[in-house]
Structure 1
Amino acid sequence: MRLYQGRRGDSDSFKDLSAYRLMLPHLGKVPLDLLDTLVLERYVEVRHEHSKPSTIERDLTRVRAILRFAAKKGLVSAARVADNLASVSDLVGEYDDQRMRWLEQGQRDELINWFKFDAELHLILHILMLSGLRLGECLRLAPADFTGAGIQTWSIKGRGRKRRHRTVPLHPRIRQLLSHYPLRSSERMFCMSETTLRRYFTEACERLGINDFRIHDCRHTYAVHLRLAGADIDEIAKLLGHTNIETASRYANIVPARVSALTGRL
């Protein structure tokens, strides 16, 4: 990161250079090949608790530039950079006010069911689509996180690195899959790597003809279907773990099905 900062010319603004310096305490000691979803999510949660979505998007764009520069200089393999760039793109999708890619129910279920060949993948896709967890939150789940109340998860917020816990309702289809899923003795529920999951996900979307759909868009799909079912923006923000309701305001233009039905009776 210091090497990238050093190559920047005098034409770069002081504000932009300062932004790179502010990254150093958080990401400066992280090896580039370990800059995955879990690390990036934690970085956003710690540094940008009260930031606007546009500010977070700009900061993640800088991370993307650093990764590309590292690949160009041969500091990390191109394949690994591709995986980490996908992680950055997913997070940018969460804070990009213009991006609202989601799937209708039929196409959503078609994508989920494509993974029936593998019990672990099948359960992961159900959780991503029907609980709205971030990829990092999903992959770190432990058997104890599934309770009668729902799925227990957490995120780290603020400079104090405090954990903020939330409970997401457990969808009946997830509950059914769990009843047949072989629980592991390890702390984590899943052993699949993020790289392997992304490869399968990309292949599934290509085969099903689903264009421009990222793993993080599963989260948008969950939120949109909540909105269509009648959930208000505050409820959606709480379930998604957003401390800034502005991030969830993109779903405000989705008209709940019950409102559409009532309008038809006027």
Structure 2
Amino acid sequence: MAYIEKRTTKKGTSYRVQIRMKGHPPENASFDRLTDAKRWAAETEAAIRQGKHFGIARRRTFTELADKYQAAIADHLKSADARVSHLAYWRDEFDGYTLEDVTSPLIADKYAKLHKDGERTPATANRYLATLSACFTYAVKDLGWIERNPCARVKKVKESAGRVRYLTDDERTRLIEACKESRNPLLYPAFILALSTGARQAELMNLRWNQVDFTRSTIVLRDGETKNGAGRVLPLTGEAFDLLRDLNKVRDIKDDRVFPVPAETRGFGSMRNAWDKALERAKVDDFRWHDLRHTAASYLTMAGVGSMEVAKVLGHKTLQMTARYSHLSPERTVELGDVLTKRLGLTSKKNTAASR
């Protein structure tokens, strides 16, 4: 028996056909037109009864799926460029394979090669697997080519806790002076803003003046303008406020970016050379621009700001990313313990005597 379900989304209307016949595996397919859906349902049911149907998974290749998925994400997914390179790897590995051939054990074997050869970190290998999983999810939910995602049974390798490199007080002092002395007039304001807000490099380089609210002392990152797609508000205070206010007075009327740098170097533009020279003058080693984000998070944590609030400032969707800084504030942990014991009436005798 065939069932046709009408689906309406932002992308338009589609029709998903489900065929379930006793003694045969279920078949699914999606179509843009109802007439095509009805025709496919009738032809497939007839083929199943005659023993001539071999299933979509046997007829469709992985390359076909990868091509359709890549086209689907090209215009609306911020990570599309990275996923294209991931898909290129999987196309090579599964060249000539039908979807039925791409099983969980096969994926696990190919996935193991990604991180065992030493060329890619476990975290990178997991990104490759995530792209493949998203591709198969598209085959299940949008195309109806397969029933289950074979990646669901592939166990991911454990990733490291992540790098936490932040500026010491001496390094911060030296680097502030080095950036201030730079010939690039945009380096120092960008540096101070990154240090003050914990914003990502791409968020700053794509920042527009209409996102800066001097009245409320905030910067608004709208949905779709951040790495995870969720908007948030950045504080604009202290010297960062003064520097942006001064930049606003002499802004380029032909370019509404706050930092209108030529993009000969992807993402960071012409500021890359000035940044490298500032690090060299300040004698700050093993430090990247992204570590300014770690620095902001570390300073907030050491000041006793809670993980939830730090996550909100940085734009982390989960506390797992923020947890890497938790070891930086043992004093705050003790303070919270004191609050709890006082509330419970379990204050130590030593502290009680001292308070008298």
2:303 is matched with which residue?
229
* Counterpart Cα distance in 2 of 1:170 and 1:256: 29
Q: SS at 1:205's partner residue?
A: helix
TM-score (norm: length of structure 1): 0.61
2:242 to 173, 176, 189: 176
Q: SS where residue 183 of structure 1 aligns?
A: coil
Q: Aligned pair in 2 of structure 1 residues 204, 60: CA closer, same or farther (>3 Å)? A: farther
Would you say how many aligned residue pairs link Structure 1 and Structure 2? 197
Does the Cα contact within 8 Å between 1:101 and 1:220 map onto a contact in 2? yes
Higher RCO (Cα < 8 Å, 6 or more apart): 1
Q: How far off is 1:4 after superposition?
A: 4.5
- Asked if the contact 1:229/1:256 (under 8 Å) is kept, the reply is no
Conserved 8 A contact 2:111-2:125: no
Compared CA separation, residues 139 and 56, structure 1 to 2 (3 A)? same
Q: Does the Cα contact within 8 Å between 2:225 and 2:231 map onto a contact in 1?
A: no
Matched, 1:190 2:264: no
Task: Verify the 8 A CA contact 2:178 2:279 in the aligned structure 1.
Answer: no
Unaligned runs of 5+ in 2: 1-84, 96-104, 113-120, 130-158, 339-350
How far has the Cα of 1:177 moved from its partner?
1.1
What is the Cα deviation at residue 180 of structure 1? Answer: 1.9
Regions of 4+ moved over 3 Å? 1-10, 15-19, 54-62, 154-158, 256-263
Q: Deviations over 1:95-130 (max 9, x none)?
A: 962311000234224213312233211111111111
Letter in 2 for 1:98: G
Residue from 308, 317, 320 that aligns with 1:243: 317
Q: Tell me how far apart the structure 1 counterparts of residues 160 and 212 of structure 2 sit (CA, whole Å).
A: 31
Identity over aligned pairs, percent: 26
Equivalent position of 2:189 in the other structure: 123
TM-score if structure 2 supplies the norm length? 0.47
Q: What is the alpha-carbon root mean square deviation over aligned residues? A: 3.9
Bigger radius of gyration among the two: 2
For residues 32-51 of structure 1, the aligned pairs below 5 Å read none
Q: Are the equivalent residues in 1 in contact too, given 2:222–2:231 (CA < 8 A)?
A: yes
Deviation larger for 116-125 or 222-231 = 116-125
Does 1:101 pair with 2:101? no
Alpha-carbon contact 2:217-2:237 (below 8 Å) kept: no
Go from structure 1 to structure 2 and tell me whether the alpha carbon gap of 1:179 and 1:149 turns closer, same or farther (over 3 Å shift).
closer
Matched to 2:256, the amino acid is E
Unaligned runs of 5+ in 1: 20-53, 63-94
Cα shift at 1:229: 1.7
Q: Please tell me whether the aligned partners of residues 226 and 236 of structure 1 are also in contact (alpha carbons under 8 angstroms).
A: yes
CA contact (8 A) 1:230 1:256 kept: no
For residues 7-156 of structure 1, the aligned pairs below 5 Å read 14-15=107-108, 57-59=124-126, 97-116=161-180, 117=182, 118-147=184-213, 148-154=216-222, 156=224
Decide which of 192, 197, 203 is 2:277's aligned counterpart. 203
Conserved 8 A contact 1:166-1:241: yes
241-250 vs 109-118, which moves further: 109-118
Q: Secondary structure at the match of 2:313?
A: helix
Residues of 1 paired with 2:225 and 2:211: CA distance? Answer: 20
More helix by share: 1
